[in-house]
Structure 1
Amino acid sequence: MKEEAIWQVAVLDDHPLIGKAIQYRLAQEPLLQLAGTFSQRQQLMAFLQRNPLDVLVLDYMLGDGDLDGLQMVKQLRMRYPNLRILVSSSVEKPAIVQLLLKAGVHGFVGKSEDQEVLINALHQVCRNKRFLTADMLLEMDKFSESDREMHEYLLPREMGDDLTLLLRELSPREIEVIRCYLDGLSITQIAGKYARSRKTISGQKQTALRKLGLRSDLELFKYKEYFSGLVQHH
């Protein structure tokens, strides 16, 4: 135990080597104490109930059976509002970072970065400063300027919360049209089913695609199973 340690740091990453590497590097940092490394959310939650922690280094993409990063962040922020969260991820996309910052993380470091960047980030976050690399800030500026659709950056699994929110923007009729379209009905068949004009149905489908951030039928069908599940429950 380093007696002069000020900040308690924990790592949640399902890749054991990441935890080991951070453990080795933090041993050389007098102001940072590694309180624990965890590969599963349950282990971390059990630890947090009994131990004080200043900063959590969180991998955005945990194993398939675990919560995605966004949900995890929201849960942690609710239960431990004083805990600072630094996300470390191989998914280095401005849209993801934007969502994470909105959810309350204090910094983001891509896994392609040198380990010293992570150490620097930890020091900044411990001092209650937000940390993003200059490259990421530039990417986010470009992303905001062009206001690109988020679907270019997000995979279905990473989009869970956000798709649900986007679906809420759809009117009941737009949802009906998307549901029928995914079931294989043509615009003409949907128009006949609901006794509306083909033009109306086509317009509702286009509006729904735009609201969902999709530019083509191909993109809609790429996420067919995903959307079907969400639309059915809507």
Structure 2
Amino acid sequence: MVYAHNKQVRVAVLDDHPMVRTVFELCLKHEPDIQLVGAWASSNELFNQLKSTVVDVLVLDFLLGERELDGLALVKQLRNHYPQQKILISSSMESPAIIKMVLSAGVKGFIGKSHNMPEIVHAIRQVALGRLFLSKEVAYEVENLYVMSEDALDTSLETCSKGNIYERVKTLSPREMEVVRCFLDGLSVSQIAVKFKRSRKTVSGQKQSALKKLGLRSDSELFKYSQDLLSGY
């Protein structure tokens, strides 16, 4: 069935894996309402091409290669330069906490790389129409991510007020703050270890030390106060 749309949806893809870009090129050419206007491998190439290429929906891989601007930092920079740009995240990292963060940053949809191409095409069309897209499973997980009892919520707010967070961030060492920033950008402990050429054990220890200094008990609480943490440093 041909999708009813007044014009072709101009789609661009950013992914550092050549095979992923090739799959998009092969599959999207069979969609009469979609035009692939770019398939790029790096964030530098992305920003250079966006200067002269009109894109309706940008399909963005959340994690790119080493020394690449990616994750939440890339989303924020795109939103600063192109606030009207519709972004669909396609990623193998389907953490509800990360998904909630990128949605808060202005992303219009998220679909895991475990989904097949027809599902991704459907997500592109929904985002092109200005609709928020999440798979049913992801939507449920995100909605229930921070469900707490009233008592637990009161305790959390009492012990982790913005003022307290601002002061506690200042107690972190530079390396602990690096780990926190990367973790909030969606990198795993193993990926952070590779990025900074440290052992996984060292990075894990720095993350746990940071949580203790901040008075936080879990990764979910860390993500919950992410904006306060980063703005307070």
TM class by smaller structure: 0.5 to 0.7
Return the match for 1:113 from 112, 115, 129: 115
Which residue is equivalent to 2:98? 96
Instruction: Give the aligned length.
Output: 169
Runs of 5+ unmatched residues, structure 2: 1-5, 150-161, 177-208, 219-228
Partners of 2:65 and 2:164 lie apart in 1 by 28
Which residue is equivalent to 1:51? 53
Contact kept, 8 Å, 2:59 with 2:90, in 1: the verdict is: yes
Structure 1 residues 90 and 27, CA gap change in structure 2 (3 angstroms): same
Give the AA of the match of 1:113: H
- Quote the offset at 1:211 in angstroms: 3.5
Contact kept, 8 Å, 1:55 with 1:126, in 2: the verdict is: yes
SS in 2 for 1:145: coil
Which residue is equivalent to 1:41? 43
- Superposition CA RMSD, Å: 2.9
Runs of 5+ unmatched residues, structure 1: 148-165, 183-205, 216-229
Instruction: Verify: 1:213 aligned to 2:209, yes or no.
Output: no
Which residue is equivalent to 1:171? 167
Structure 1 residues 132 and 208, CA gap change in structure 2 (3 angstroms): closer
Identical counterparts, % of pairs: 36
Counterparts of 1:119-198 in structure 2, within 5 Å, are 119-146=121-148, 169-171=165-167, 175-176=170-171
Which residue is equivalent to 2:22? 20
Give the ranges of 4+ consecutive aligned residues of structure 1 lying more than 6 Å apart after TM superposition. none
SS in 2 for 1:171: helix
Contact kept, 8 Å, 1:170 with 1:208, in 2: the verdict is: no
Residues 87-110 of structure 1, C-alpha deviation per residue, up to 9 Å, x if partnerless?
000110100000000111000001
Query: RCO greater where, 1 or 2, for CA within 8 Å and sep 6 or more?
Result: 2
Contact kept, 8 Å, 1:169 with 1:211, in 2: the verdict is: yes
Contact kept, 8 Å, 1:5 with 1:33, in 2: the verdict is: no
Give the AA of the match of 1:90: S
Partners of 1:130 and 1:168 lie apart in 2 by 34
Contact kept, 8 Å, 2:15 with 2:42, in 1: the verdict is: yes
Residues 55-82 of structure 1, C-alpha deviation per residue, up to 9 Å, x if partnerless?
1000000111111311111111111112
Structure 1 residues 208 and 17, CA gap change in structure 2 (3 angstroms): closer
Which residue is equivalent to 2:81? 79
Contact kept, 8 Å, 2:109 with 2:134, in 1: the verdict is: yes
- Quote the offset at 1:19 in angstroms: 0.9
Structure showing greater radius of gyration is 1
- Quote the offset at 1:169 in angstroms: 1.5
Structure 1 residues 15 and 146, CA gap change in structure 2 (3 angstroms): farther
Partners of 1:28 and 1:5 lie apart in 2 by 15
Partners of 2:138 and 2:101 lie apart in 1 by 14
Partners of 1:32 and 1:212 lie apart in 2 by 49
* Structure 1 range deviating more: 206-215 or 71-80: 206-215
Partners of 1:82 and 1:118 lie apart in 2 by 21
Contact kept, 8 Å, 2:43 with 2:70, in 1: the verdict is: no
Structure 1 residues 169 and 119, CA gap change in structure 2 (3 angstroms): same
Normalising by the residue count of structure 2, what TM-score does the alignment of the two structures yield?
A: 0.65
Partners of 2:216 and 2:59 lie apart in 1 by 31
Contact kept, 8 Å, 1:73 with 1:103, in 2: the verdict is: yes
